[in-house]
Structure 1
């Protein structure tokens, strides 16, 4: 026991906090040592360590004790105390970012324990969804404020190097609890940073992934494609799970912009849920699109892409109507021809008025260049590029 405290004391005098970070990490084997699972270690910690490091270590050892009896809520409380004590120490370090590796470990453990407590509370019905994660976000924000406000230190020792890691952890929380509006000031802070392109590639990939997803939900599909494409292109090829997660959002965005994925890509990443969607959009098969949305509805809703895929209905209509126009070979296309095309696909609950509304919507969105002659029940299309590329309309 005493050797452990001496090791902590010695580590604090080193220039690298990576070792100290391991000593306070719940991913380190020491948490299984019964001698370090102490319900109360305040007195002995004060004997060997200065404040606030004694508070950090005492809270961590109590957390080890709580973890040994599977009291995750108490572990979470202890981790909050550890982070709060760390912030005191971090603030006092002028022109020094020695504590960044330690902060990374502490914050990661905090988020994971908050998530575990939330799941347990949700399972037993003893709390609101996301309550602990939201409180954890407040604690993480205290670290972010320290890092973001360090504007006077030389860049090599600036605490600003911790900003993107913290932002990514906050993104994970805000997306989990459904409070995406809280991401906006974080994005603004990173985008205005002079070192935004100098963070580690792994951190930038995670950042681009979440910002791309937010852009998608905000209907900014061009930005969504840019950020998600960066994340996909720079994600390590061995991280199959991460590549699949990125593609779940990148594929619908690209389809909305007129670029359909290959079936080989879908098969490689086990995303065959999109296969019929792709076939429907490519061939203008509205009925197949409807069936695919129903068949994989649970997957689309759970991943949050259902409403995005619904937008593909307009593109599918455009493809179908374009085929009808090519078959008839005229720039004055009877609306009845569109109605018959829809009914031929088994869509019986549709009439002329609804068909006219669909065509009007396609004209309004730029998918068709022309106008409707309501009196003659015809669509009069431009003689040049009547059905512009989807990307242009988007």
Structure 2
């Protein structure tokens, strides 16, 4: 019983002193200690753990007058008694042959619910680091169990996402008039990020908006408190760690990209990339993948050295070259060549849709650059013959069936969307462009709404 008694004594000391680090260390036990505690618990498998824990950690001497913490400890010990360590859930690990991962997830979900219920009590902000452990373990376990037993419907991940979204709402709606770090709002980004992780795994980004509402509410309350107390916190994010902020901006950027809000997506992803430290190169690369996609759509092209350093030249290098030069068929072929890789990251369809606009715009601009010279009067607006663009388009798209009416329709669409500034003079078969430094082709990024 030594291991069990020592463990519960450590939990009790940390709880009574409200020592966040010590409590987290007590709950985050290594497989060896897990096995020793499990052996002690199984010497009396029928023991009423709730009553036993109440005897070890009496409510009368506790910092709170609730049994919620004791219920958490009892259910945590029940998990240790009946199931394998969390680290064994991965399909790559050597888990015990008889492990029932469905039951293990249900048991851990109960542990997480107890932790969330305890965190909802007043004056429990100090418990946030332990809540992070229980919440992150819930998502990891849910995904691992679904990978083992339910790869199609992903029921455990769905359950975990709902639980975390609810907790994020609770944290985001803490209206305590105090700094964010001194309220339950301190946990909202952590809970939101874990919710996003689950929802993105489920390909159900629609439900992310509910979580975003909780985060925005918390940030608004943080900004209000800062303004009322003469502090400068325009973003409302100062009380959160850089890691949580980078993760939040990464998911927010990807969400805005899926919603075709390209400018907002690029802003959030660029912030995440710039603020992710070089110690986390794997994460920087993960952020860079959708960031480059947004930049290509916006007509901003990354340096080849950056793509090379991030091992992304094979995917984006040739595509960027063809896009710049309006080589449409080659660009589409390049997208199709990497279709599986891009689809897995949710980028293929939006790139295929949005880059077609850029390809037509860039092709027209290249034709203008080749045809426009000093022979044209400087006071006259630049013009581009439609038949010249037609010939170039048939080559660029490898489509000899294109007709002048097709080109005029595409040019009308580009003008309507703002990618080209000018008008079609049908009587002469020319595109008349706006005078100025851009010669009727404003930078693509300026056309997208912020």
- TM-score, scaled to structure 2: 0.80
Q: Structure 1 residues 242 and 40, CA, compared in 2 at 3 Å: closer, same or farther?
A: farther
1:334·1:378 contact (CA, 8 Å) conserved in 2? yes
Q: Structure 1 residues 300 and 145, CA, compared in 2 at 3 Å: closer, same or farther?
A: closer
Shift in Å, 1:178: 2.0
Shift in Å, 1:389: 1.9
Residue of 64, 71, 74 corresponding to 1:58: 74
Distance 1:160 1:248 in 2: 31
- Computed over aligned residues only, the root mean square deviation of the Cα atoms, in angstroms, reads 2.4
Shift in Å, 1:280: 1.0
- Does residue 86 in structure 1 map to residue 140 in structure 2? no
Alignment match, 1:381: 433
Residues 68-92 of structure 1, C-alpha deviations (whole Å, 9 max, x = no match): 5432222211111112222332233
Name whichever of 240-249 and 53-62 sits farther off. Answer: 53-62
Alignment match, 1:244: 285
Residue of 29, 35, 42 corresponding to 2:39: 35
Alignment match, 2:297: 256
Alignment match, 1:132: 156
- Does residue 295 in structure 1 map to residue 311 in structure 2? no
Residue of 181, 185, 190 corresponding to 1:165: 190
Alignment match, 1:184: 209
| Partner secondary structure for residue 238 of structure 1 | helix
Alignment match, 2:229: none
Shift in Å, 1:341: 0.8
Q: Structure 1 residues 40 and 57, CA, compared in 2 at 3 Å: closer, same or farther?
A: farther
Residues 157-194 of structure 1, C-alpha deviations (whole Å, 9 max, x = no match): 32221111111111111111122222223323323421
Alignment match, 1:340: 391
Shift in Å, 1:226: 1.3
Residue of 337, 356, 359 corresponding to 1:316: 359
Alignment match, 2:25: 22
Alignment match, 1:282: 324
Alignment match, 1:113: 141
Shift in Å, 1:366: 1.6
| Partner secondary structure for residue 333 of structure 1 | strand
Q: Structure 1 residues 8 and 271, CA, compared in 2 at 3 Å: closer, same or farther?
A: same
1:96·1:157 contact (CA, 8 Å) conserved in 2? no
Aligned residues: 389
Name whichever of 99-108 and 146-155 sits farther off. Answer: 146-155
Shift in Å, 1:235: 0.2
Q: Structure 1 residues 268 and 121, CA, compared in 2 at 3 Å: closer, same or farther?
A: same
Residue of 307, 310, 326 corresponding to 2:369: 326
Name whichever of 107-116 and 72-81 sits farther off. Answer: 72-81
Alignment match, 2:88: none
Distance 1:29 1:364 in 2: 67
2:276·2:283 contact (CA, 8 Å) conserved in 1? yes
Distance 1:226 1:343 in 2: 36
Q: Structure 1 residues 358 and 40, CA, compared in 2 at 3 Å: closer, same or farther?
A: farther
Q: Structure 1 residues 104 and 41, CA, compared in 2 at 3 Å: closer, same or farther?
A: farther
Alignment match, 1:75: 104
Residues 39-77 of structure 1, C-alpha deviations (whole Å, 9 max, x = no match): 665334343235333432332233333225432222211
Alignment match, 2:55: 47
Distance 2:346 2:29 in 1: 32
Structure 1 residues without counterparts, runs of 5 or longer = none
| Partner secondary structure for residue 363 of structure 2 | helix
Residues 325-371 of structure 1, C-alpha deviations (whole Å, 9 max, x = no match): 22222644332211211233461354113333322222222222222
Correspondence list, 1:207-246, <5 A = 207-246=248-287
2:168·2:214 contact (CA, 8 Å) conserved in 1? no
Structure 2 residues without counterparts, runs of 5 or longer = 59-66, 85-95, 223-235, 377-381
- TM-score, scaled to structure 1: 0.90
Alignment match, 2:90: none
| Partner secondary structure for residue 384 of structure 2 | strand
Name whichever of 3-12 and 19-28 sits farther off. Answer: 19-28
Shift in Å, 1:376: 4.4
Distance 1:377 1:276 in 2: 34
